[in-house]
């Protein structure tokens, strides 16, 4: 690996570690820190959305902002207001999304043969998609109970849908990343795209089915 490659790997690892600590620490610490986290993420996502170049293929109306990051993160903010505050359901959700990304990479990288949507995200495969869904279902099983494996599987599917939607949005604008806030990882929308559809559905279903 070249010197630049090693430097980029270390940058990604350091940024990723700080990112994980900040997110998990804020959610665990208190309802206020958790709510502030999701509010800040929503605001930064909003800024990235409006600062993105229009691009030659851009046909996404600005109004779609209200169908993109804000409702997802507002749902998690609302969950912070439930009394007594319990960080576990939110952490479980976050871990499901991260597990989906990790499972998709670990399975898709060596085994991916059938492209999921090559015109939007050439690196994603159906094999990786299955690996991510299984990993997310496993996290739900471990954190919420065996009866909630289906919720994890659904979150994996919705997380991938959010990822593909954001990839299509960037491609239409000729962008590689949504921003530069997180060195080696891109912007806020790049890191939280899996939350877009999954978060509001998770909060709704958790409130219906959780004991």
| Full pLDDT tens readout for the chain, 211 residues | 455 545 666 777 787 788 899 999 999 999 999 999 998 988 888 888 878 777 665 555 555 555 566 777 788 888 888 888 999 999 999 999 999 999 999 999 999 889 998 888 888 999 999 999 999 999 999 999 999 999 999 999 999 999 998 888 888 778 887 877 776 667 888 888 899 899 999 999 998 987 6
Distance CA 192, CA 179 (A): 12
Q: Which of 78, 99, 103, 101 is nearest to 202 (CA)?
A: 78
For residue 70, the enclosing domain spans 3-53+61-209
**Strand duo 121-125 + 115-117: pairing:** antiparallel
Q: Is 182 left (phi over 0), alpha (psi -120 to 50) or beta?
A: beta
Domain count, the chain: 1
């Amino acid at each position: 690996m070249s010197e630049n490659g090693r430097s980029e790997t270390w940058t990604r690892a350091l940024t990723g570690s700080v990112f994980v600590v900040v997110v998990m620490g804020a959610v665990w610490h208190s309802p206020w820190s958790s709510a502030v986290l999701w509010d800040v993420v929503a605001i930064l996502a909003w800024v990235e959305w409006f600062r993105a170049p229009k691009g030659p293929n851009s046909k996404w109306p600005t109004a779609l902002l209200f169908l993109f990051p804000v409702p997802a993160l507002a749902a998690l903010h609302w969950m912070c207001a439930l009394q007594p505050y319990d960080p576990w359901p939110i952490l479980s959700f976050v871990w499901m999304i991260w597990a989906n990304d990790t499972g998709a990479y670990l399975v898709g990288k060596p085994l991916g043969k059938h492209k999921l949507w090559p015109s939007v995200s050439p690196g994603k495969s159906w094999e990786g998609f299955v690996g991510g869904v299984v990993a997310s279902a496993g996290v739900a099983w471990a954190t919420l109970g065996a009866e909630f494996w289906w919720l994890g599987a659904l979150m994996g599917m919705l997380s991938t849908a959010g990822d593909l939607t954001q990839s299509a949005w960037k491609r239409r604008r000729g962008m590689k990343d949504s921003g530069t806030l997180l060195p080696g990882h891109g912007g806020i929308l790049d890191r939280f795209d899996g939350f877009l559809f999954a978060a509001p559905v998770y909060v709704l279903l958790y409130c219906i089915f959780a004991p």
